[in-house]
């Protein structure tokens, strides 16, 4: 993670890849969008209300009522969503009682334009206040945090763009195109104002939210989320960053360990030498053993063993050298005393060792019992009980020496292999067991304690918890948002003009086309989500398919193949727009010059949209981010509620 900021929680501090100052970032990411947003909202709401009053004054109550309903519908839907959401209710009642919270909610419902303007003014005030502090100052960061505080007003602005602006464009365009040349130009001027700012509002919201789910997976949160949800999301983000840092550290340690492994070709040459190994008298090195040996529990022998390892080649293994060894056993006779009845063997016998003695001695061997005059003998190593018969000293001592030499030779071989032969990585031979869930921390991922039996050259590369890799994108910078905004303006203009003019000439075919498009989008969403999730999420898919009639937005449904979704949707809508526009342009007789002008605008808007699309995805597309997150939550991120 070379970047200091690898999440989409805040606007990026760069434009076209060049880092900008903190003061410039405040201007382009906070002040300018807020000023434009409040201007668009005031003009759009005022023009819609004025247009409704104008319709009522012209004795056209149908259009007046329809325009007014579209203005009142978004705050009503927002109030209902906040009321049914448990998190929003708990957040509203955390600092006041339920009656006060309900009263404030009803007040926001009836006086929604003033609360929206107050929200924009609050954000603008804290953004301007941040300009008076130094760069990277604590006070400046606190001001920007207050400027981006979550609020249910943001949910209203989202609903307002698709429940008011989009249908308002269709309604007003249909009314304007259905009128003859004798019309009220005051009404037409207000309609034009409403159309322009409704399209701007719809394009701005689509630009901000069209990839919010991919951004939310890597750090961004919903602007209307509660403070508890924001804190939980921030803690999860910090925990994932610690996990990524731990993975990077272990990866670097593993790379350093792997580079210290011997080369495989040398190991293979060492093993191939076994086929052509010949015994030789040349000693490559010596293994020395010195210790005490037991002789029938009667005395101790000081033995010094010297193993001469012979090898004709330098690349023979130690196992082959040991096999070709004829060890020399030297016994110090001064330590044996007067024991002259013992025959000492100075070489390994060619015949195999005799079978072990039976549990019961033969009757001709007398049982030797110690008397009171005999000196006490040390009881060092016993393999039989006192009541059992012993073997003769002539047979016991060579067996004891051979067993001692064999044990020492095996121990030396094991130590040599442990110190010089590399071990394979631990991940290649076994899987690590998961940690106990009770020992896991809720925030900081705990690393298991190193085992004392783990070799030094084992690649100890693992994750402390079940994890998964999450792919997402950062937020667009100022240049990317600008180009994307003009691209969506062109797309919305083309889409709305095509649908509205087709509705004027073929109203029944228009509703059939919209219904087929809606059903197709609903089937694609059901196939993408596999119809999993709660009932509220399934109900939201019905609303999302309605939004897909106008624009495409990745919201609460994270597309598995984003290129397939966007490519298929753009091809489908472009074919629809060109087909329905060509039908009425080629077959219908129209007297007004408006229809020719609309045809030209549909074609030009489509060309402008394709040009901005190429520039955006080739140059200004935001950076993709892959995070390692802990997979211990039963619910997917997209299954959480809207409010």
Q: 601 falls in which pLDDT band (50, 70, 90)? A: very high
Most confidently predicted of 51-55, 143-147, 474-478 = 51-55
**Which residue, chain included where needed, has tokens 């550290």?**
249
Pairing of strands 624-630, 467-473: antiparallel
Query: DSSP class of residue 518?
Result: H
Query: How much is the pLDDT for 297?
Result: 43
Angle at 331 between CA 329 and CA 333, to 5 degrees: 160
Query: DSSP class of residue 164?
Result: I
Residue partners of 312: CB distance under 8 A and separation at least 6: 277, 278, 279, 280, 282
Q: 350 falls in which pLDDT band (50, 70, 90)? A: low
> Hey, what are 5's tokens?
């900021």
Q: 596 falls in which pLDDT band (50, 70, 90)? A: confident
Q: Report the alpha-carbon distance of residue 175 to residue 523 in Å, rounded.
A: 32
Q: 451 falls in which pLDDT band (50, 70, 90)? A: very low
Per-residue model confidence as pLDDT tens digits over 288-316: 445 444 444 444 444 444 444 444 444 55
> Looking at 195-199, 473-477, 512-516, which range is the least confident one?
473-477
Query: How much is the pLDDT for 339?
Result: 46
Q: Name the nearest CA neighbour of 224 among 77, 46, 29, 72.
A: 77
Q: How far apart are the first and last CA of the chain?
A: 33
Q: What is the mean pLDDT of residues 511-540?
A: 89
**Is the pLDDT score of 463 beyond 80?**
no
Element (H, E) at 159: helix 152-160
Q: What is the dihedral of CA 112, 116, 119, 125, to 10 degrees?
A: -130
- What is the three-class DSSP state of 624? strand
Query: How much is the pLDDT for 283?
Result: 46
> Hey, what are 106's tokens?
């009803």
Per-residue model confidence as pLDDT tens digits over 168-221: 999 999 998 887 666 778 888 899 999 999 999 999 999 999 999 888 888 888
**If 0-12 CB within 10 Å is exposed, 13-18 middle and 19+ buried, where does residue 553 land?**
buried
Element (H, E) at 578: helix 562-587
Q: Between 335 and 166, where is the model more confident?
A: 166
Q: Report the alpha-carbon distance of residue 507 to residue 422 in Å, rounded.
A: 79
Measured CA to CA in angstroms, residue 158 lies from 112, 148, 171, 402, 414 at distances of 14, 16, 20, 89, 71
> Looking at 215-224, 267-276, 394-403, 616-625, which range is the least confident one?
394-403
What is the secondary structure of 18-58 as a DSSP string? EE--HHHHHIIIIIHHHHHHHHHHHHHHHHHHHHHHHHHHT
> Hey, what are 352's tokens?
């195999």
Q: Between 628 and 117, where is the model more confident?
A: 117
Query: DSSP class of residue 543?
Result: H
**135-147 CB burial, b ≥16 within 10 A, e <16:** eeeeebeebbeeb
Per-residue model confidence as pLDDT tens digits over 526-544: 998 887 777 878 888 999 9
Q: Report the alpha-carbon distance of residue 163 to residue 157 in Å, rounded.
A: 10
> Hey, what are 331's tokens?
């016994």
Q: 7 falls in which pLDDT band (50, 70, 90)? A: low
């Amino acid at each position: 993670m070379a970047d200091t900021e690898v999440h989409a929680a805040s606007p990026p501090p760069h434009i076209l890849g060049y880092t900008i100052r903190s003061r410039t970032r405040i201007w382009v990411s906070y002040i300018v969008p807020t000023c434009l947003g409040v201007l668009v909202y005031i003009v759009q709401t005022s023009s819609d209300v004025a247009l409704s009053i104008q319709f009522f004054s012209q004795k056209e109550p149908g259009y007046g009522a329809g325009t007014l309903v579209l203005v009142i519908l978004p705050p009503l839907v927002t109030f209902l969503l906040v009321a049914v959401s448990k998190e929003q209710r708990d957040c509203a009642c955390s600092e006041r009682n339920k009656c006060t919270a309900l009263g404030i909610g009803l007040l926001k419902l009836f006086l929604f334009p003033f609360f929206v303007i107050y929200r924009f003014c609050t954000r603008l005030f804290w953004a301007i206040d941040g300009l008076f502090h130094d760069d990277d100052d604590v006070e400046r960061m606190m001001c920007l945090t207050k400027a981006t505080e979550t609020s249910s007003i943001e949910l209203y602005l989202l609903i307002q763009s698709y429940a008011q602006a989009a249908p308002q464009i269709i309604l007003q365009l249909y009314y304007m195109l259905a009128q003859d040349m004798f019309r009220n130009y005051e009404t037409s001027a207000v309609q034009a104002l409403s159309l322009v700012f409704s399209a701007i509002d719809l394009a701005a919201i689509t630009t901000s939210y069209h990839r919010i789910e991919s951004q939310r997976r890597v750090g961004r949160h919903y602007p209307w989320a509660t403070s508890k949800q924001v804190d939980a999301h921030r803690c999860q983000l910090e925990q994932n960053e610690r996990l990524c840092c731990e993975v990077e550290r272990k990866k670097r340690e593993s790379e350093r360990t792997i580079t210290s492994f011997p080369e495989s070709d040398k190991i293979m040459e060492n093993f191939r030498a076994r086929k052509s190994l010949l015994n030789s008298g040349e000693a490559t090195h010596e293994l020395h053993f010195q210790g005490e040996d037991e002789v029938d529990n009667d005395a101790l022998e000081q033995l010094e063993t010297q193993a001469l390892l012979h090898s004709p080649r330098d690349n023979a293994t130690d196992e082959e050298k040991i096999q070709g060894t004829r060890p020399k056993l030297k016994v110090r006779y001064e330590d044996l005393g007067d024991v002259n009845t013992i025959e000492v063997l100075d070489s390994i016998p060619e015949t195999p060792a005799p079978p072990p003695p039976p549990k019961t001695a033969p009757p001709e061997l007398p049982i030797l019992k110690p008397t009171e005059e005999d000196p006490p003998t040390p009881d060092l190593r016993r393999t039989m009980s006192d009541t059992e018969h012993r073997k003769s000293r002539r047979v016991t001592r060579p067996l004891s020496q051979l067993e001692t030499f064999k044990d020492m030779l095996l121990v030396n071989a094991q130590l040599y292999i442990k110190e010089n032969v590399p071990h394979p990585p631990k991940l290649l031979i076994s899987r690590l067991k998961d940690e106990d869930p009770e020992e896991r921390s809720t925030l900081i991922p705990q690393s298991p304690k190193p085992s004392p039996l783990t070799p030094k050259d084992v690649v100890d590369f693992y994750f402390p918890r079940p994890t998964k890799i999450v792919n997402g994108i950062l937020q667009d910078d100022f240049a990317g948002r600008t180009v994307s905004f003009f691209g969506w303006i062109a797309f919305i203009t083309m889409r709305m003009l095509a649908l509205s003019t087709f509705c004027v000439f073929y109203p029944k075919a228009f509703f059939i086309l919209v219904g087929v498009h809606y059903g197709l989008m609903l089937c694609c969403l059901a196939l993408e989500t596999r119809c999993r999730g709660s009932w509220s999420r399934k109900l939201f898919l019905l609303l999302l398919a309605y939004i897909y009639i106008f624009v495409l937005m990745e919201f609460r449904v994270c597309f598995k193949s984003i290129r397939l979704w966007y490519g298929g949707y753009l091809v489908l809508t472009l074919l629809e727009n060109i087909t329905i526009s060509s039908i009425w342009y080629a077959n219908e007789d129209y007297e007004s010059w408006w229809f020719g002008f609309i045809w030209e605008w549909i074609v030009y808007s489509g060309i402008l949209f394709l040009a901005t699309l190429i520039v955006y995805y080739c140059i200004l597309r935001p950076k993709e981010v892959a995070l390692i997150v802990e997979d211990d939550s039963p619910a997917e991120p997209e299954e959480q509620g809207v409010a």
